[in-house]
Chains A and B, each alone.
Chain A
Amino acid sequence: MEPRPRSFYWLTAFFLLFVIFLYGPTITIGILSFQGPQGGLTFPMNGVSTYWFHNLFQEQAVGDIWGAFRRSFALGLMVMVATVAISVMAGLAFRKRFAGSGALFYLTIAALVIPSILVSLGVGLIFNQIGAKVHWASSGFGAQLTWTLPFGLLIMFAVFNRFDKRFEEAARDQGATPWQTIRHVVLPIIAPSVVGVALFGFSLSYDEFARTLLTAGSHNTLPLEIFGMTTNVTKPVIFALGTLTTVFSFLIIAVFLGTLWLLGKRRARRAG
């Protein structure tokens, strides 16, 4: 191998600094959430304890965190399933041009660039006018889809742009029906990306704030609950909550990455 140019070392240092910048604050609140009962929001640590985690579990200390967590989790799963199904179908649709496909594509991109608060406001206004009550599982669900679907579709585009059509042609030549081709050839090939779409669907929904702000109704999702806390909680209990939900996000990511790894291994075994 040729020797590394000097720029490599400068860039490595830059990259390391960037990673510290990216993760440093999160690690800091991870440490501070173990603050002693008398400790404050900043260093120094006033003893080490799990006091603030216990505090979270006491119902009266803060709002309805566990209810909010359950709702966010359920909503995340709903959004995940819908995002996967709708994105895969739309991804298949966009492989061939059809009348109006260009317009639909730009509408999807528009969903990505239109400020979230407008979606929140607009959906809230519509529900208000037709006399329906906003609820996280109806208006909140729909509003979040406008954020997850564009990502799902972009991932599907990326996959199908690199898709080798000869696999399908081979299946068709051997007499497979269109449905069989999709079920036994296309879906297995795109499976890893579908796992990626699912991860995006769940995580983006689980952390979404702006689009649920005016569409969740009287029962808050977790990000709304946390934001409510920021205005009146001045104790490390908020760090404990932040640490728990970040750990939860990391676990979810690990589950999905693990699934991807298993898929890859199974594929390698079959090929070998």
Chain B
Amino acid sequence: MKKSDTLRGWALASPLALVLLAFLLLPIAMIMVVSFWQATEFAIVPAFSLENYQFLFSSPVTYKVFWATLRYALITWALTLLIGFTVAYYLAFHIRSNTAQTALFLVCTIPFLTSNIIRMISWIPFLGRNGIANQTLIGMGVIEEPLEWLLYSDFSVILAFVHLYTLFMIVPIFNTMMRIDRALIEAARDNGASGWQILANVIIPLSKPGIMIGTIFVLTLVMGDFITVRFMSGSQSANVGRLISNDIALLQYPSASATSVVLLVTVLLIIGALMRFVNIRKEL
């Protein structure tokens, strides 16, 4: 590495570095510091106290809520992976014209560029007590009373997660699939492999990097969420994000910070483990 390369590199990358320093590194450092502070009813007081952590780790609520968060993440992950992989596979291997492929890919990605909150709200007429789902089921004679668990339940929370985040699986998996050498599939077929065998022994192994990147996205988005769980559960379910945002609403910043630190460590440990399986820079 030449010295001039380093100089040139930092000259061009310094705006990025400065923004991340000021609005990511310092804020996270601040959260870590404040997590050792104490709070009165009106203000936060600099101190070095382990009180916030002691309270956090001694409360059974903490474990329950972390478990609930992990459960949301795992269920959403399984569903988005299943749906996302199938859609990506269809787009990458079954759509033959490039134009159609691009168009259908856009159809899948455009909702990402619209409002998440509106997309959550838009489930109300569908899932509500008198919503389309219940009316249809009653009309078909499947049920007599409207189902109460469709909206404001864990079901609707997961549904909204899948609705919002499947795209984070589709895009990276599609991206890796498009780079699979088609000759490999030809070779497998020439050697007598069936469609399922090709899928299991060629396509899935070669799609692993995309699956990993999608997994990282979905897990971190769900684990850090607070708004979907609050809105779609009608404030009846809890996750770590809601624990933090409730503390913030009560101006209990030190306690919110301690929970944030534990959440951050959890997320980073999971990502760290997953990153061992994939080199992100190579996959772009």
Which residues of A pack against B, CB within 8 Å?
Answer: 1, 4-5, 7-8, 11-12, 14-15, 18-19, 21-26, 28-29, 32, 41-43, 85-87, 89-90, 92-94, 96-101, 104-105, 107-119, 121-123, 125-126, 129, 142-143, 145-146, 149, 153-154, 157-158, 161, 199-200, 203-204, 206-207, 209-210, 213-214, 223, 226-227, 230, 238-239, 242, 245-246, 249-250, 252-253, 257
The docked-state distance in angstroms from the alpha carbon of A153 to that of B26 is 21
Residue of A nearest to B16 (CB): A90
Q: Which residues of A contact B271 (CB under 8 A)?
A: 113
Contact indicator B19/A21 (Cβ below 8 Å): no
- For residue B36, give the distance in angstroms from its CB to the closest CB of chain A: 13
Residue of A nearest to B13 (CB): A93
- Does chain A have a CB within 8 A of B5? yes
- Does chain A have a CB within 8 A of B256? yes
Pick from A94, A96, A118, A125: contact of B263, CB under 8 Å: A118
Contact indicator B86/A114 (Cβ below 8 Å): no
Beyond A94-B13, A107-B25, A117-B245, whether A15 also contacts B128 by CB under 8 A is no
- For residue B73, give the distance in angstroms from its CB to the closest CB of chain A: 12
Given contacts A117-B245, A238-B121, 4 further A-B contacts (CB under 8 A): A15-B104, A32-B125, A125-B257, A246-B118
Q: Please classify how large the interface on chain B is, using the bins under 10, 10 to 19, 20 to 34, 35 or more.
A: 35 or more
Q: Which residues of A contact B91 (CB under 8 A)?
A: 15
Contact indicator B114/A122 (Cβ below 8 Å): no
The docked-state distance in angstroms from the alpha carbon of A161 to that of B8 is 19
Contact indicator A242/B10 (Cβ below 8 Å): no
The docked-state distance in angstroms from the alpha carbon of A114 to that of B261 is 11
Interface residue SS majority, chain A = helix
Q: Which residues of A contact B208 (CB under 8 A)?
A: none
Q: Which residues of B contact A246 (CB under 8 A)?
A: 114-115, 118
Pick from A18, A32, A115: contact of B241, CB under 8 Å: A115
Residue of B nearest to A141 (CB): B23
A-B residue pairs in contact (CB < 8 Å), sample of 10: A14-B86, A42-B128, A90-B16, A93-B12, A98-B5, A109-B280, A117-B241, A118-B260, A207-B116, A239-B121
Which parts of B16-54 form the interface with A (CB within 8 Å)? Answer: 16-17, 19-20, 22-31, 34
Contact indicator A28/B5 (Cβ below 8 Å): no
The docked-state distance in angstroms from the alpha carbon of A107 to that of B24 is 9
Q: Which residues of A contact B119 (CB under 8 A)?
A: 25-26
Which residues of B pack against A, CB within 8 Å?
Answer: 1, 5-6, 8-13, 15-17, 19-20, 22-31, 34, 83, 86-87, 89-91, 94, 96, 104, 106-108, 110-111, 113-119, 121-126, 128, 130-132, 135, 163, 166, 195, 216-217, 220, 223-227, 231, 241, 244-245, 248, 253, 256-257, 260, 263-264, 267-268, 271, 280-281, 284
- For residue B169, give the distance in angstroms from its CB to the closest CB of chain A: 12
- For residue B282, give the distance in angstroms from its CB to the closest CB of chain A: 9
Beyond A23-B111, A104-B17, A227-B227, whether A117 also contacts B24 by CB under 8 A is no
The docked-state distance in angstroms from the alpha carbon of A112 to that of B86 is 25
Pick from B8, B248, B264, B284: contact of A158, CB under 8 Å: B284
Contact indicator A207/B113 (Cβ below 8 Å): yes
Contact indicator B10/A115 (Cβ below 8 Å): no
Pick from B115, B166, B195, B217: contact of A226, CB under 8 Å: B115
Beyond A15-B87, A118-B31, whether A142 also contacts B245 by CB under 8 A is no
Contact indicator B5/A114 (Cβ below 8 Å): no
Contact indicator A97/B5 (Cβ below 8 Å): yes
Give the top 7 A-B pairs by smallest Cβ distance, nearest first: A122-B27, A115-B224, A98-B9, A93-B12, A25-B122, A93-B13, A203-B113
- For residue B147, give the distance in angstroms from its CB to the closest CB of chain A: 14
